[in-house]
Structure 1
Amino acid sequence: MSIPVRTLPFDHPGPLEPCPEYAELRTGTPVAPVMTPDGRRAWLVTSYDAVAAVLSDARFGMAPPGATSAGNHTLFQDGEAHARLRRLVSKAFTPRRIATLRPRVEELAVEYTAALAAAGPPADLIAGLAAPLPLRVIGELLGVTIDGSERFRELADTASSADFSAAGDSAEVAAATRAWHDLTLYAADLVAGKRRSPGDDLLSGLITVRDGDDGRLSDDELVGMSTTIVAAGYLTTRNAIGVGTIQLIAEGRLARLADAPEELEGVVEELLRHQSGLTAEPFPRWAHEDLELAGVAIRAGDPVLVRLEAANRDPRHFPEPDRFLPGRQGSSPHLGFGRGPHHCLGAALARIELRAAFRAVARQLPGLRLGVPVDRLVWARGQNDAGPTEVSVTW
């Protein structure tokens, strides 16, 4: 039987509601042919099991088979080149190092929330907390000085502002491209400065890390890792704080988190499950050989698009998937941070930032509420990330 080819993107009935087409496909055709906005044929994967399989299977790569990785010094590549980088980075980006950041992240969350409260309502949650908190954390993680923090913020904001998948050479994309170039130059200067005068920060740790088999990270790799940390850690966390706060308000759960740290962990995990895909989806994958996925024949070179928004609401793994149920019993782990070789290295840090932000808001602004209806919020949607550009709040 011929399967109809649907055209992406699907429409959301509301900014926080999943596409109904995903539920339909997940039930009947979890691996379905689709047409992308730029006219390419691809496979759309919507079930939890099939998505987890794609993310875990080395036969699905970040680049088409045969593509060269020359000039790519980031973790967004395949095979041994990726494995070597990840081994080296993991030696510096350790759980112990990340755990030591928690008091500072909590201090910053309290500081930004206090400034928001002091300025008085109405306020923009994104500009006051959701954006500056992860950006400040990343800056301190990389050892950005106070003098350089404003330039760093400016470049990161601009570089993260555009959808590079948009058709045409728009002024927005051109500005973002220039900002990424400038951010790369900034990172190169930062690496050079840390080589001359290392400090107690992650970038200095990455410079000094060594492995008998893998050697050391080159300057190009260090610059690539610095920009990757900005790309992966800033916009996604900003969106998660903004959307998570909106959902906590809607669920009437915000004030309860002030003195209930035992609830906070479960709440954050459920927020991550609910907003996965609404705020971020993994990069496309390509089949590197002929294979079968959920009974469907995939040919080498075929692009494959996994949808966390669909997988994390699969009723076979999450009973009553559309309900917000912190501390779910008997459910599978959500896939919000991916799975397999490209599982997010910053997952632990993101969780620390989210818990710190929600606890600070709950304690200082327990009566926080939206200043405008959810359906009036303006969202920026990029190739892999989406989130509200502004969230007006009052109290």
Structure 2
Amino acid sequence: MGLPLTSTKTAPVSYPFGRPEGLDLDEAYEQARKSEGLLWVHMPYGEPGWLVSRYDDARFVLGDRRFSHAAEAENDAPRMRELRTPNGIIGMDAPDHTRLRGLVTKAFTPRRVEAMRPHVRRMTASLLRDMTALGSPVDLVDHYAVPLPVAVICGLLGVPEEDRDLFRGWCEIAMSTSSLTAEDHVRLAGELTGYLADLITARRAAPRDDLVSALVEARDAQGRLSQEELVDLIVFLLFAGHETTASQISNFVLVLLEQPDQLALLRDRPDLLDNAVEELTRFVPLGSQAGFPRYATEDVEVGGTLVRAGDPVLVQMNAANRDALRFRSPGVLDITRDDAGRHLGYGHGPHHCLGASLARLELQEALRTLLDELPGLHLAQPVEWKTEMVVRGPRTMLVGW
């Protein structure tokens, strides 16, 4: 039979679709899923690329090693901002990606993460006590959604508690989709590198039972990563372990408040909590656009399109999670859905989110505590949304009880 010949690159369609505010998935994705082949799109900067929006196509690209992350550095990759910055471990292929991932994987195994549950549950209870002591209304983002994942990942890494607020500002800049100036990048890089150099020096002199100490040991005694890789890996873990989970805590609460039937069912059936977190992960379109393009290293058929070697491919996992060919009534939130866990919210393949177990735990416990302790939880004012960010979610979300 051979590869299909639907590889014509017409005038590229402007991308991303829709606005970053709110949690609606733009209808253009539905049209893209229904169209023949893949859609040829262009982002504000870089060359055009193929947009993948169907579930089977997304899973195929994410799991196939013929699509390279590392090749992004050699090309004018599709992107939201003019300035190009290194992607660290995300921008690597095997064997480098495998080597660095292996250094931290053991810290995020389901068994080790589950052992953290009592500690995370105590943290959510403490944060809720502090939040409710301020009186209603209060910002759920500042006083609950952000502090929890920051405390968890910083505690795991060994970042002192008094320094944790620094990372929110750094993360806001690093995950912005606006045009980061060279001066901003130099400042951010300098502040982070300087801080982490001091932290690494402190752990080298006096190791502790934390992940930074383990990585320093891997660097110094085992030679398994370079100094630059050591810093980049810590930065990646700090950012990846903070912004996405913080945004999803707020997003999940908002969606449940807007769908009282599902919220009532969850309160009635607390045994559905784990499945509800999976369904909310499937349902909520976290990413404001497809990111981290992969480049085909040879001609590959994807969804009826012949992707030529050297073509960039953008995988939109939010759209894939709303594919009617994979999920029944995909635009409906159903916390009893029996296949919710098949979502691509944490990716798939070699770059599957290594912190997925930890994110699930934090989301489960954050919702559990709110549902148990605040039966009257409600939105007190309209949400103020983040703009020009990689992930979508409330910037402020005032709630009452």
Q: TM-score, normalised by structure 2?
A: 0.86
* 8 A Cα contact 2:25 2:285, kept in partner: no
Alignment pair present for 1:78 and 2:93: yes
1:191 offset after TM fit, Å?
Answer: 2.0
Name the amino acid aligned to 1:26: R
Report the Cα distance in structure 1 between the residues aligned to 2:39 and 2:263, rounded to whole angstroms: 39
Match of 2:3 in 1: none
- Pair 1:280–1:329, CA change in 2 (3 A): same
For residues 390 and 161 of structure 1, the distance between their equivalents in structure 2, rounded to whole angstroms, comes to 17
The question of 1:120 aligning with 2:135 is answered yes
Q: Give unmatched runs, 5+ long, in structure 2.
A: 1-5, 76-85
Distance 1:274 1:331 in 2: 9
CA shift for structure 1 position 166: 2.6
Distance 1:387 1:182 in 2: 26
The question of whether the paired residues in 2 share the 8 Å contact of 1:277 and 1:308 is answered with no
* Alignment deviations for residues 100-147 of structure 1 (CA, whole Å, 9 cap, x no partner): 22111111111111111111111111001111111111110111223x
Match of 2:338 in 1: 329
**Cα distance change of structure 1 residues 294 and 347 upon mapping to structure 2, 3 Å threshold:** same
Q: Report whether the alignment pairs 1:392 with 2:393.
A: no
In structure 2, the partner of 1:239 is 247
How far 1:215 moved relative to its partner? Answer: 5.3
8 Å CA contact 1:65–1:288 kept in 2: the answer is: no
Deviation string for 1:217-272 (max 9, x for gaps)? Answer: 34333222211111211111111011111011112244665685421101100110
User: What secondary structure sits across from 2:120 in the alignment?
Assistant: helix
8 Å CA contact retained: 2:62, 2:349: yes
1:79 and 1:39 mapped to 2: Cα distance? 25
1:200 paired to 2:209: yes
Q: In the alignment, what sits opposite 1:158?
A: 170
Partner Cα separation in structure 1 for residue 317 and residue 215 of structure 2: 31
Question: Where does residue 275 of structure 1 map in the other structure?
Answer: 284
Superposed CA deviations along residues 149-192 of structure 1, whole A, max 9, x for unmatched, are 3x3322343332465543473xxx84465234312322222222
Q: TM-score, normalised by structure 1?
A: 0.87
Number of aligned residue pairs: give it.
Answer: 383
Range with greater deviation from structure 2 (7-16 or 36-45)? 7-16
Distance 1:66 1:132 in 2: 34
- 1:1-395 correspondence runs (5 A): 5-12=12-19, 15-38=22-45, 40-64=47-71, 67=74, 74-146=89-161, 149=162, 151-161=163-173, 164-167=176-179, 169=181, 174-175=183-184, 178-208=187-217, 216-252=224-260, 253-254=262-263, 257=266, 260-278=269-287, 281-330=290-339, 333-373=342-382, 377-382=384-389, 384-395=390-401
Residue 324 of structure 1, CA deviation: 0.6
Shift of 1:330: 4.8
Instruction: State the secondary structure of the residue aligned to 1:17.
Output: coil
Displacement after TM superposition at 1:284 (Å): 1.8
More relative contact order, 1 or 2 (CA 8 Å, 6+ apart)? 2
For residues 317 and 274 of structure 2, the distance between their equivalents in structure 1, rounded to whole angstroms, comes to 20
The alignment partner of 2:393 has SS state of strand
Query: For 2:301, what is the secondary structure of its paired residue?
Result: strand
Residues 272 and 31 (structure 1), Cα distance of their counterparts in 2 relative to 1, 3 Å cut: same
- Following superposition, which runs of at least 4 residues in structure 1 exceed 6 angstroms of deviation? none
Shift of 1:205: 3.1
Deviation (angstroms), 1:326:
1.4
Q: 1:239 touches 1:279 (CA, 8 Å); kept in 2?
A: no
Amino acid at match of 2:297: H
Q: Alignment partner of 1:64: what SS? A: helix
SS at 2:74 equivalent:
coil
Partners of 1:271 and 1:358 in 2: how far apart? 11
Range 127-136 or range 160-169, more displaced: 160-169
Moved more, 154-163 or 99-108: 154-163
Q: Write the distance in 1 (CA, Å) between the matches of 2:239 and 2:252.
A: 20
CA drift at 1:281: 4.7
In the alignment, structure 1 segments of 5+ residues that lack a partner are none
